[in-house]
Amino acid sequence: MTAPREQFGSRLGFILAAAGSAVGIGNLVGFPVNAAKNGGAAFLFIYALFVFLICLPVMMAELAAGRNSQKNPLGTYRFFANGHKLWPIAGWLALITPFMIAVFYGVITLWVLGYLFAILGGNLQELADPDYFGEFINSGQVYALLALIAAIVGVILKFGVKDGIERAAKIMMPSLFVLLLGLVIFVLTLDNAVAGLRFYLIPDFSKIDASVINGAMGQAFFSLSLGMGILITYGSYMNRGASISGSAKLVALTDTAVAFTAGLMILPAIFAFNPDIDTEELSSSSVALIFTFLPKIFLAMEGVAGYTGASAVAAIFFLLVFFAALTSLVSIIEVPVSGVMDQMCYSRKKALLIVGLGIALFALVCALSFGIVEFFTHFLHYGGADKSVFDLVVDVFYDTILPLNGFLICIMVSYRWKKSNFDRELEQGAPDYKGSLLERYTNLALGTFIPVILLLVFINTVLTKFFGVNLI
């Protein structure tokens, strides 16, 4: 007899854990800058449409499939495959993808922690130097930081779903909201903040073209933790009495609200200290923004807040980003951990040790691929450029495979598991779901245009990334 499956302790706990997974670096930095560059409120409008019309049904499909099968993603696909030979391949993809995302996200998280320590040590001035980032990522510090991140995530996951993941989210998410609001209020008091707000909020529909729409779709999909196996796994820990549709709506809303609110902090801060900036100059890479651009902005606050004040604001910001990244990292590592626990019948401790060592090893290879080891640095050449192992992992698993995984879950739920069973699972804990508009919409969309859109995004990404062909 195996022990009963672990469960989240409360509805709020589940929502905070799932929102903690969804809220990450992309929300805090990527979304605001993309919005400012691509039409302000017009971008927000399109983004929100994608979140609710395309992403929400996929989110519900993942949660319902996991809760019904009571298994990790591989187990879930096997459960519904019912002997069919090909579906378990999709299950493997849904297990390998989170493993590899954990690898590169772990590297980014350790950089954030390294910056936080540097600021607390009084080194904001150095961080603002354009050469600092390149030196930092190739310094000996990264090994110690990697070990520290592994230890923190390890301790959280060792305590399991309720006492580990849920408890960590219940502490970190409210702290994140408070820190974010505090920074917004501070930044809005600065001179020129209004210029940033204007850029962020005034809609400019003329900026909306096919590539902006594609970008908004990608951003929404990634931001909500879709296609990563996370929501299948978290679904398997959900109580049968909880409403999947109600919780999913709240998670989507929280994620969007945090992304929107982060813009109220980032853009006014940028404009207050660089009133003449042209938003086109802002890099579209969240990594470049966080590690090279924002430290300069924080340092520029010295004039109004003094060096200590500027360092305090920077430290709060990096702590915020660290919480956001850590809750995402925890959620994604739980996927392979639950996979190994279920499939091999290992204890949580043993599964955690195996998965943790594997991820740390790959993360080390990524961390060495910025110049320390030449072979990993110029690992492959495709799409017109030399790529490091880190680039390869991001391109393949973060940018390319996610929409494919999303496509597969839509098809599996609609045509393999069948809509009537899907509906029955969703109605459990949510009697008002039956016959609702959301139910009718989800049933229609999940088997028709949502998978078509996801497949198109996948094909377009493959062509652009790996063959240098741009369809749109």
Region binding ligand TRP by CB under 6 A among candidate stretches 15-23, 192-200, 334-342, 433-441: 15-23
Which residue number, 97 or 414, has a Cβ lying nearer to ligand TRP?
Answer: 97
Which residue number, 27 or 243, has a Cβ lying nearer to ligand TRP?
Answer: 27
Region binding ligand TRP by CB under 6 A among candidate stretches 11-19, 143-151, 260-268, 329-337: 329-337
The Cα 259–Cα 55 span in angstroms is 16
Number of residues forming the site for ligand TRP (CB under 6 A): 17
- CB–CB of 225/98 below 8 Å? no
Region binding ligand TRP by CB under 6 A among candidate stretches 83-91, 325-333, 405-413, 425-433: 325-333
Q: How far is the CB of 287 from ligand TRP (least distance, A)?
A: 11
Considering only residues 225 through 264, tell me which ones interact with ligand TRP, judged by CB under 6 A. 225, 228
Which residue number, 26 or 57, has a Cβ lying nearer to ligand TRP?
Answer: 26
26 is an interface residue for ligand TRP by CB under 6 A: yes
Among 27, 34, 68, 254, binds ligand TRP (CB under 6 A): 27
In order of 22, 190, 381, 458, the CA distances from 303 in angstroms are 35, 11, 45, 47
Amino acid at position 79, single letter = F
Among 34, 233, 331, 442, binds ligand TRP (CB under 6 A): 331
The Cα 439–Cα 450 span in angstroms is 15
Residue 17, phi then psi, degrees to nearest 5 = -65, -45
Per-residue x/- track, 189-228, ligand TRP (CB under 6 A):
---------------------------------xx-x--x
In order of 9, 63, 69, 235, the CA distances from 5 in angstroms are 12, 15, 11, 12
Q: How far is the CB of 225 from ligand TRP (least distance, A)?
A: 4
- CB–CB of 319/116 below 8 Å? yes
In terms of Cβ atoms closer than 10 Å to its own Cβ (0-12, 13-18, 19+), residue 241 is exposed
| Exposure class string for 85-116: b at 16+ Cβ within 10 A, else e | eebeebbebbbbbbbbbbbbbbbbbbbbbbbb
Q: How far is the CB of 59 from ligand TRP (least distance, A)?
A: 12
Which residue number, 46 or 124, has a Cβ lying nearer to ligand TRP?
Answer: 46
Which residue number, 44 or 310, has a Cβ lying nearer to ligand TRP?
Answer: 44
- Residue 386's SS3 state is strand
Among 47, 105, 115, 234, binds ligand TRP (CB under 6 A): 105
Among 44, 56, 101, 367, binds ligand TRP (CB under 6 A): 101
Cα angle value 7/248/24 (rounded, 5°): 90
What DSSP character marks residue 385?
Answer: E
369 is an interface residue for ligand TRP by CB under 6 A: no
Which residue number, 256 or 331, has a Cβ lying nearer to ligand TRP?
Answer: 331
- CB–CB of 219/44 below 8 Å? no
- CB–CB of 363/143 below 8 Å? no
25 is an interface residue for ligand TRP by CB under 6 A: yes
332 is an interface residue for ligand TRP by CB under 6 A: yes
Q: Can you name the residues that pair with 382 across neighbouring β-strands?
A: 385
Which residue number, 148 or 287, has a Cβ lying nearer to ligand TRP?
Answer: 287
Nearest Cα to Cα of residue 300 among 121, 125, 114: 125
Q: Which residues bind ligand TRP (CB under 6 A)?
A: 21-27, 101, 105, 222-223, 225, 228, 328-329, 331-332
